[in-house]
Amino acid sequence: MIPEISIGPITLQTFGLMFALSFVVAGLIAHRRFRELGKPGDWAYEVIFAALVGGLIGARLFWAFENWDDVSGDPLGSLFSGSGLTWYGGAIGGTISVLLWAKWRNFLNLEMFDLAAPAMAAGQAVGRIGCQLSGDGDYGEPWDGPWAMGYPDGVVPTPPGVTVHPTPIYETLTLGLIAIILWQLRDRFRFGILFALYLVLAGLMRLLVEFIRVNDPVLVGLTLAQLISVAMIVIGVVWILVVLKKYGTLARPESQVFARAV
């Protein structure tokens, strides 16, 4: 673990660096896709800024909601403190902000949803590297398997001698693979299906990894992250089934085929 990096008199938090890098990676993917769609590449900077602002607000608000007993004494001060983020809060807040941006740019359509899918998966994959480097408590349950790790020097340290599932690594690898798959499939399906696949795959990943995480269940034995993941999976599957029933195929029709701009 490397929670901090010192460069001369400056100390940088590795989680913050990876958090910033995640938006850079997502922005590069969005820029490439906007150009392929014949849209201004500069839109990528706008949409990433919108996602960053909305994501930070959403992540902080959801963290405060989850930890209300700790923040109720000073809710405003807690919101502006230097720690406490939740991935699904960030996803929800970022999504709302991006939808508002897309409405403003008159690009609120299924192509926009599909464009976001691989960028979101890649950004999340990079962000989890920050969780691994900082040891921020996103690791799993105690485990003594062949690749188990301890986080004694993390921001949220594990007890001395205790090793756990390195779940941030699991998530980085899985989300990275999801991003690659979605990017390769970006021109194969009807508009909207790529985003539906993201909901299913990313939701399934988080649902499963939560079983070896240390978060407390909130309903029917599932954590809040798992409940949101189940909702993502259901929405994605229903979306795919509705399209399949309506058109008989998920393949992109000729009317939605275009020559990629370069």
pLDDT per residue as tens, the chain (262 positions): 787 787 878 887 888 889 889 999 999 999 999 999 999 999 999 999 998 888 888 877 776 776 656 555 554 444 444 445 666 677 788 889 999 999 999 999 999 999 999 999 999 999 899 989 988 888 999 999 999 999 998 888 999 989 999 999 999 999 999 999 999 999 999 999 999 999 999 999 999 999 999 888 889 989 988 998 999 999 999 999 999 999 999 999 877 776 565 5
Residue 130 CA to residue 172 CA, distance in Å, equals 10
Query: Helices in the chain by DSSP H: which ranges?
Result: 14-36, 43-66, 68-71, 75-79, 87-104, 110-134, 167-184, 193-209, 224-247
pTM over 0.85? The answer is yes
State phi, psi for 142 to the nearest 5 degrees: -55, 140
Distance (Å) of CA 179 to CA 56, 141, 204: 22, 27, 14
What residues form DSSP beta bridges with 149?
Answer: 164
